[in-house]
Amino acid sequence: MKDSLLTILRDKNTSKVNFRHAAQQLAMILASEAALKVKQQKKTVETIHSKAVGHELFQKVCLIAILRSGMTLLPAFLYYFEDAYIGILGIRRDENTFKPNLYYENLPLIDKDTLLIILDPMIATGGTLCLAIDKSLQKGAKESNIIIHSILSAPQGIKQIQQHYKDVTINTVAVDEKLNDKKYIVPGLGDYGDRFFGT
């Protein structure tokens, strides 16, 4: 399912409407996978006939969306995590140096037990995510409780993150072949944000 949806996103002839639809379906799948990572505790409930021992979620969740593309994943994750705290980071890559520049930051306070989910559809160089992780750790996050959810990644970006943050989990639909000299993912799908927003 994920692969067929990713193929729709890769196709340069996919319309804006179909691109959005496939992206939102993929986001729902990623969000459902994230829900499996939340800590649970046992709970006993009264049924109509007796008692049953089950489980309930008890871990606090914080979603951090990277502007602007990360916002496209947010609705799907809020479907599963209605009570989540939400943080926003605006990070723009310099097209000459390829270094990430932070231009907006609004993060809630995060404790070490919070499950922190960072949303960014594309991991290219990994610089943006490293900056996002740094900001999250400064707010009190625990590295082993940080999960990055993305749709498409480059091996260079994955390596960059894993070299600096060994306990951070990365969940990505696919890892592509490489980055080109302009630091775009190849074969990739083009600029995710431009295609989703129609800009």
Amino acid identity, position 45 = V
Q: Which two tokens stand for residue 20?
A: 């959005």
CA geometry: angle 138, 144, 150, nearest 5 deg: 90
Catalytic option among 94, 111, 134, 194: 194
Residue 195: active-site member? no
Residue 93: active-site member? yes
Close Cβ partners of 70 (under 8 Å, ≥ 6 residues apart): 64, 118, 119, 120, 121
What's the distance, Cα to Cα, between the start and end of the chain in Å? 28
Residue 97: active-site member? yes
- Strands, E, within 15-50: which ranges? 40-46
Amino acid identity, position 113 = D
Catalytic option among 83, 97, 181, 199: 97
- Torsional sign, CA 176, 27, 75, 140: negative
Residue 11: active-site member? no
Catalytic option among 113, 134, 167, 191: 191
Catalytic option among 11, 20, 93, 169: 93
- Output the furthest CA–CA distance in the chain (Å, rounded): 68
Tell me which residues are annotated as active site. 93, 97, 191, 194
